[in-house]
A and B are shown apart, each in its own frame.
Chain A
Amino acid sequence: MSTAALSAAEAQTVTAARRLARARSVFIGVGRPSTAAILARALYNPRLVLVYESGTIGAKPFHIPLSIGDGELAHTSDLIVSVPEMFNYWITPGRIDVGCLGAAQVDRFANLNSTVIGDYARPKTRLPGAGGAPEIAAGCGEVVVIVAHDRRTLVQRLDFVTTVGHGDGAGARERLGFRGAGPTAVITELGVLEPDPQTRELRLTSVHHGVEVGDAVAATGWELRVAEHVEVIEPPSVDELAALRELSSR
């Protein structure tokens, strides 16, 4: 095992993996969510069903895939379905427990932008677009958002609402007819933001070991509310960190 100091990204990934310890199934894209889910399956939840947008259900990758459609995912999955089947039979009906999503921008109600920065017709930065996110966020049992913690990402106002989290607050999802609970956590490299049970506005509920509450508040683009008791997240254990680094080195 590498003896390098724990990085903020590693703390974020392990925190996300722990969140999947009791889930039956998780929908993941590539990058940190994928790494977290593979780690969760290896460490705490060997029966966790990994679902990738490409149609591979129950994939058991040994390597962290570069794309959601790598051959290893197809070779190791329980079943492979077409894209219409993935959305119409599996995601939208709510058969997947947890959907992991990233985004370029997140607002205080955990709505997400992955479409444009700037004006839609004349964007400053054209982002990839919605992909599966709107229906994943509406249909999965709950959503875990994994993003960077800075004022460019956690913003006062989204440039484009690609994906509805909690809309404009309490009752919004019910009015839209969404079945899933929506975002239950935004996991960053500084800590975890969770929606207030009453208002649905995100508040800081925990920070990684060594992070000050003030740092997280300062790195947020709106006036971040802070829970009465902010917990300090248990740092990754020797075993967790070793497993993550070994997985990343494959």
Chain B
Amino acid sequence: MRGGARIRRLFGGRACVLIANMAEIVPLREAVAELVRDGDAVALEGFTHLIPFAAGHELIRQGRSELELIRMTPDILYDQLIGVGACRRLVFSYGGNPGVGSLHRFRDAIENGWPRAIEIEEHSHAGMANRYAAGAAHLPCGLLRGYRGTDLVAHTRVAFIQCPFTGEELAVVPALAPDVTVIHAQEADRDGNVQLWGIPGVQKEAVLAADRVLVTVERIVDRIEPRPGGVLIPGWVIDAVALAPGGSQPSYSLDITERDNDFYMRWDAISRDRDAFTSWIDTHVRGKTAVA
């Protein structure tokens, strides 16, 4: 059940006109409160581009806990969620600060259990991509040539099967089905149809694999003009759309905001020290309110 029907249920208390086959446009605070619960498996996806920072920060402000966080490339946003102790389990394929180096909160949690120990399940990018694609297709597993010969096999969920047609041995990985997927996009129309463009990452698959979907956007437009290479996601597979201008910063939304490379470099020093990190979160996340 998606779109209008779900929203009628979730946002039933609101005085508004609801039409089936559209996602409701709601304030970010309310969308996060309604859609994300403690203990959920949550994918806040974005491959360098369009990372949903505003929504992730709202999770921190609302004190969501015991989350299973899923993402191919947990970068600064997941470093922050791990550092505040919101993460119980991390499913990922590359945990680094791109072009800069380590994610210090991620490392501190795994190496020293601070602020809490986290469970990890790690894959290769190809494995995670196929796990999402299988989830979007509602298949139980994804199939690929991969993992063979690596030590990952002994430490993650992967199995090997023989192709019934050629006999080739292939890797299978379990489908991903997040309770909630959160993505950021450039724009939505008033019916909650969404368009994103530029580097599309694995967001479409993550949306279609999830039980509930929240999309934050840079702007609401009267009419979406489809762009060549743009990814269009209809409102009826989305539960809620929230307006969050600048909501992917310090990542970026192509043609609207620019990647704040300077901040990615500064994060190294901020996150290296537990006190400096906590103080930064208190000032820049907990001390602020959601946009829009």
Identify the A interface with B (CB < 8 A).
30-31, 53-56, 65-71, 73-75, 79-84, 86-88, 91-92, 115, 120, 123-126, 128-135, 138-139, 160-164, 167, 172, 176-178
Contacts and interface: CB of A to CB of B under 8 A. Distances in A.
B133 interface: yes
B72 A31 contact: no
Given A134-B124, A160-B151, A82 B202 contact: yes
Given A84-B129, A177-B168, A132 B124 contact: yes
Which 6 A-B pairs rank lowest in CB-CB distance, beginning with the nearest?
Answer: A69-B48, A128-B96, A131-B94, A67-B98, A164-B149, A87-B126
Interface of B is mostly: loop
Contacts of A167: 149
B99 A66 contact: yes
Contacts of A177: 145, 148, 168-169
Interface string B223-242: 00000010000000000000
A140 to B, nearest CB: 13
B144 A83 contact: no
Interface in B89-134: 92-96, 98-100, 102-103, 106-107, 110-111, 122-126, 129-130, 132-133
A80 B198 contact: yes
B264 interface: yes
Contact of A84 (B133, B145, B264): B133
A138 B150 CA distance: 11
Contacts of B169: 177
A66 B204 CA distance: 25
B280 interface: no
Contact of B150 (A126, A131, A161): A161
Given A66-B98, A132-B126, 14 more contacts: A67-B48, A69-B49, A69-B98, A80-B198, A81-B200, A82-B204, A83-B129, A84-B205, A88-B126, A128-B95, A129-B96, A138-B145, A160-B151, A162-B151
Contact of B125 (A81, A130, A138): A130
